Structure 1
Amino acid sequence: MKTALFPGSFDPVTKAHVDILKRSVSLFDKVYVGIGLNSTKKPFITPEKREQMLKAVFADEPRIEVIAYEGLTVEFCKQIGAAYMIRGIRTVSDFEYEKAIAQMNHALEPEIESIFIVSKPGYSSISSTIVREILKYNGDVSQFIPKEALPFL
């Protein structure tokens, strides 16, 4: 069984995340959406609410499972039996950042392959960071967030 992990903070989940997942799910038998818990970051949305949000967004996709984790992502991949790690690329700077992480992950765990999926042009400007800033000032984020996620904000 081909299993992949799509790790991220998903704080909050955006339409860009959904696009990457929908385009990648056909490549694998199972895709875990891993909510990485980073002790050095103060989240905007609680991990529990992010998990509920993602489960609502992907309720109709049986091959996607949402789960939170802490620690090294490659170790979590081994724990869930994922041989692939999916990463979305929006910009050249994303590529440089993700390439460095992929190379370090490969050094730590050579059997886990990083798969880069380039975002559609219409989603390249959408980031959770920008969406959080809009939310902070009570702006309308409905064009950037999947409709199933809006009730959780």
Structure 2
Amino acid sequence: MKKIALFPGSFDPLTNGHVDTIRRGALIFDEVIVGVFVNTTKKSFFTPEEKLQLTSAALADFQNVRVIAQSRQLTVDSAKELGANFLLRGIRSVKDYEYERDIAAINKHLSSELETVILLSSEEYAHISSSMLKEVIQFGGNVEKYLPPVINQAIQRKRTEEA
């Protein structure tokens, strides 16, 4: 059986921490599907179309990774439609662990055949989050070292357009 993992997230913006988790997941699974989902509780920096395009560009060099968009569907339903038998998640802290543990439990309740695999964040990325980076961006701070170049360039273009 082919091992397919769905890595769902809002990826707004996709960070080097996300890319590291995807890279490591791609070594474990036959295929990793990065699902660019809508998080209704967060205010987005990029449109869904921009996130899909930028995430695809940032991950173009990965042979066994593909990027899809999903707007309004349960993650377990998306996984089933995609033929994924694993959910890939990354955690940075105890706080993330508690959140991801609860999500994994409800997902297991909704789809008993779906397993959640959690990778610990690499040390150099454990302190960053998309939400934190968006806050720094809002106030003109430099977040270049935390982002894939294509994402950073898109942020700089948006800053220029808004100025």
**C-alpha distance after superposition, 1:47-88 (max 9, x if no partner):** 111111111111111211111112110000001000000000
Q: Distance in 2 between matches of 1:17 and 1:76?
A: 20
How much does 1:148 deviate? 2.7
Please name the residue that 1:58 is paired with. 59
Please name the residue that 1:136 is paired with. 138
- Aligned AA (1:79): E
Matched, 1:83 2:110: no
Q: Secondary structure at the match of 1:59?
A: coil
More helix as a share of residues: 2
**Radius of gyration: which is bigger?**
2
State the TM-score, normalizing by the size of structure 1.
0.96
User: Where does structure 1 lack aligned partners over 5 or more consecutive residues?
Assistant: none
Q: RMSD over aligned Cα, in angstroms?
A: 1.0
How much does 1:131 deviate? 0.4
Q: How many residues align?
A: 153
Q: Secondary structure at the match of 2:145?
A: coil
How much does 1:102 deviate? 0.0
- Aligned AA (2:108): H
Q: Secondary structure at the match of 2:150?
A: coil
**C-alpha distance after superposition, 1:100-134 (max 9, x if no partner):** 00000001101000000000111110100110001
Q: Distance in 2 between matches of 1:36 and 1:13?
A: 12
Q: Which ranges of 4 or more aligned residues in structure 1 deviate by more than 6 Å?
A: none
State the TM-score, normalizing by the size of structure 2.
0.90
Sequence identity percentage: 42
Q: Higher RCO, 1 or 2 (CA under 8 Å, sep at least 6)? A: 1
* 8 A Cα contact 1:49 1:152, kept in partner: no
User: Where does structure 2 lack aligned partners over 5 or more consecutive residues?
Assistant: 156-163
The range that moved more, 132-141 or 80-89, is: 132-141
Q: Distance in 2 between matches of 1:118 and 1:22?
A: 13
